[in-house]
Amino acid sequence: MSEKTPKLRTALDGIPTYKPGRPAAAGGPVTYKLSSNENPYPPLPGVLEQAVTAAGAFNRYPDMACTGLMAELSERFSVPVEHLATGTGSVGVAQQLVQATAGPGDEVIYAWRSFEAYPIVTQVSGATPVQVPLDSDEVHDLEAMLAAITERTRLIFVCNPNNPTGTVVRRAELESFLDRVPSDVLVVLDEAYCEFVRDAEVPDGLDLYRDRPNVCVLRTFSKAYGLAGLRVGFAVAHEPVAAALRKTAVPFGVSQLAQEAAVASLRSEAALLERVDALVAERTRVVEGLLGQGWTVPETQANFVWLRLGDRTADFAAACERAGVVVRPFPGEGVRVTIGESPAMDLFLEAAEGFRKAL
Ligand SMILES: *Cc1c(COP(=O)(O)O)cnc(C)c1O
């Protein structure tokens, strides 16, 4: 027997593992999961029925080209089908984007702290992550990101609103940034939470991409549309980029269930967006409650709030858990709390108040 073990790429050394939000504990006191930015509402009736019908045919492979979903997206967002690409969640599409643009020796720029999938997909491609710290208001520092561009930069992620801080970059500064990024560097506007934005100064990436061939907009059905478990997201970009995404896609990655549920969700958009409105109202209530308790909360345009707790992060998360809500701690940095159902947010606000009083 040989002593040798399979040779693995050294690029995999040191890749951080994705940490999913912890589930709510089974049994015991009522526990709510506020750790993964999920939509707390169950699937809409029409969407669920469509998915059940699709499930009846899962002995068959899905439509690899996602024809029905592409047609629906094309119409809904007024973009040519050739500008669309789908993937297994927008994380899947993000991975395809990096694979299509960057390999060993190339650099991928993103803000930090931002979405934890960025370092993973960058390193899986063998590219070098370049992390640019958020500014003191927890906002993308676009000037510093511009300054970080080198000959080797291939892709820049701009997460708007930013996960986990909820902060946004607004139209004027984003346009000025895009005007100065070299045209051969792809800028990915990750808009996973765009449906929750109520600030009119936050641009819709779809308006920005149209006359910018180096801009790609990333969207998902996982958050506002409530299909996190089905894994479907999409990108909108000019033809060469969209075509590259189709090349890097895992064949048959997006299940028929996911495709049909996504189409049904787009057709039930009014009802879905009503739920989003309710979550936005709940967000306002939670932020005001926290501010009233004396917390500093960065302005959030997403379905979560961020508390920079530093050394007290783990204690705070434990206090929330004792109160019946599971939040998402980033050790030593802060806690991200998803806006969920009102009873969950009541428990959270109570826990936050108790924690603050005991400081
Ligand atoms: C949740 C999230 C996504 C979406 O992930 P899916 O793979 O579509 O479920 C993408 N980007 C950011 C910033 C997110 O927070």
pLDDT tens-digit profile of 97-113? 999 999 999 999 999 99
pLDDT of the residue at 3:
86
Give 29's pLDDT tier (boundaries 50, 70, 90).
Answer: low
- Phi then psi for residue 215, to 5 deg, are -115, 135
Average pLDDT on 327-349 reads: 97
pLDDT tens-digit profile of 50-83? 999 999 999 999 999 999 999 999 999 999 999 9
pLDDT tens-digit profile of 140-153? 999 999 999 999 99
| CA 188 to ligand 1 center in whole angstroms | 13
Lookup: tokens for 100: 């299509």
Angle between the N-to-C axes of helices 89-101 and 117-124, in degrees from 0 to 180, rounded to the nearest 10: 40
| CA 219 to ligand 1 center in whole angstroms | 8
What is the chain's alpha carbon radius of gyration, rounded to the nearest angstrom? 21
pLDDT of the residue at 48:
94
* All residues at 6 or more sequence positions from 250 whose CB lies less than 8 Å from its CB, including other chains: 88, 92
Residue nearest to atom 2 of ligand 1 (CA): 192
pLDDT tens-digit profile of 215-236? 999 999 999 999 999 999 999 9
| CA 166 to ligand 1 center in whole angstroms | 13
How far is residue 111 from each of residues 52, 139, 153, 221, 223, measured CA to CA in Å? 40, 9, 14, 23, 21
| pLDDT at residue 237 is higher than 90 | yes
83: enclosing H helix or E strand? none
Measured from the Cα of 231, ligand 1's closest atom is 9
Contact call for residues 237 and 245 (beta carbons, < 8 A): yes
CB-based burial label for 82 (10 Å; 0-12, 13-18, 19+): middle
Residue nearest to atom 4 of ligand 1 (CA): 90
| CA 158 to ligand 1 center in whole angstroms | 13
pLDDT of the residue at 45:
81
Residue nearest to atom 14 of ligand 1 (CA): 192
pLDDT of the residue at 17:
86
Residue (of 244, 240, 194) closest to 217 by Cα position: 194
